Amino acid sequence: MKETTEQDYGDEYRAVQTFREEIGNAKKVIDTLSTYPDSVFRLMPQLDEPTATEESKARVHTQLAEQAKKRDETIKLLEDKYFPLFASNPEFAAYKSSIEAVIVQSRTQTFLTRDNVFTFGAECKKITSGIFRDQKKLLDKMKAIKKAHVPTTTTA
């Protein structure tokens, strides 16, 4: 079996590669945040059903609390890990304010209408689509670095 070794393209390449992976992870976290309104939208009508018992209402309240907890954990991850990442890269700093806006929406809107849920999802999609485009640009940058890389030879 032939052993393969990965070529080292330098610090700039590794930095771009790492950043590209991290913003991809941020994109996944934003996708997670976008599921919260739909969960609320599905659960809230169950509270108003004429046949709803106190027990079923308690279950719905528990599920709503669980969803809010997941949302809050997702927000904390965005704030603690990804805000500094975007802030440290001025070219991508605009994502921080866009994400802050959807965080505020996720905490303040009631999501009782399909339009509210759709609008929130569209805002999240706009952010993740932008990240996807930027990931492609970063991949192109990585390819350019690879292409320009001149391997160093060592003599023994």
* Pair 93, 86: CB distance under 8 Å: yes
**DSSP alpha helices (H): ranges in 9-150?**
11-33, 36-47, 54-77, 83-87, 94-108, 114-148
Please check the confidence at residue 3 and state whether its pLDDT lies above 60.
Answer: no
- pTM, two decimal places: 0.83
Alpha-carbon distance of 10 to 16, in angstroms, equals 10
Q: Is 80 helix (H, G, I), strand (E, B) or coil?
A: helix
Give the pLDDT confidence of 144-154 residue by residue, as tens digits.
999 887 766 55
Give the pLDDT confidence of 83-92 residue by residue, as tens digits.
999 988 889 9
Cα of 117 vs its chain's centroid, Å: 17
Write down the residue that tokens 């590794």 correspond to: 14
Alpha-carbon distance of 94 to 20, in angstroms, equals 16
